[in-house]
Amino acid sequence: MTSAADPTAEDFANMGIDEVVIRKFVLHFYDVVHDDEILGHYFHNQMSATWDEHLDKMCNFWSAILLKTHRFNGRPMPAHTKLTGLQQSDFLHWLKTFEKSIKHCCTSEAVPHIMKKAHMIANSLQYGVFYKPEIMGSKLNLKN
Ligand code: HEM
């Protein structure tokens, strides 16, 4: 793999990423999130799944992203656009918190690659959550 290439499932496996490690970082991260002042309340007050369901779903999600297992069949965008009170700073905090768990549970080789995926997904979620076409339209003077 060249440094610019997107790692394949095999590349991630060679970096020590398997289902056991994925479950480890998912449990570690959501254990922190559970008691986090900024992120915790979204899960306690607005989550439709149970914690166990959410954890299983997140293991499947990261398995699909990193190991291309196709295990995840959820819908991340509506799960976040429905949340009330979300701020862009929450996403930055999510990423910093997630990085700590990734560094704690994964090989140092895998860390930047997993974080790159997390940043890309966080960016796309933020686009869906915060994009306001009516504001864009008026700023660009598209309305008459
Ligand atoms: C401000 C940051 C974030 C908050 C507060 C947040 C909160 C939540 C909550 C409360 C749920 C449960 C929704 C429900 O079951 O009703 C959820 C689901 C989920 N989140 Fe996040 N999230 C954040 C960022 C992210 C990021 C950056 C990712 C991926 C890198 C992510 C991936 C997911 C996925 C895959 C689900 C499951 C979606 C489904 O049910 O199909 N989240 N999130």
CATH code where residue 46 lies: 1.10.490.10
The closest-lying atom of ligand 1 relative to the alpha carbon of residue 75 is 41
The closest-lying atom of ligand 1 relative to the alpha carbon of residue 87 is 1
Torsion of CA 25, 27, 29, 34, to 10 degrees: 180
pLDDT in the model for residue 133: 72
User: Is residue 117, in this structure, part of any structural domain at all?
Assistant: yes
Residue matched to tokens 């291309």: 68
Mean pLDDT across the stretch 7-11? 97
Share of the chain above pLDDT 70, in %: 90
User: Is residue 1, in this structure, part of any structural domain at all?
Assistant: no
Nearest residue CA, atom 20 of ligand 1?
76
Instruction: Give the predicted TM-score (pTM) of the model.
Output: 0.93
Q: What's the domain range around 15?
A: 9-139
pLDDT in the model for residue 131: 87
pLDDT tens string 58-73: 999 999 999 999 999 9
**DSSP letter assigned to residue 91:** H
User: Is residue 39, in this structure, part of any structural domain at all?
Assistant: yes
- Measure 73 CA to ligand 1 centroid, in angstroms: 14
- Measure 63 CA to ligand 1 centroid, in angstroms: 15
Q: Is the pLDDT of residue 115 over 80?
A: yes
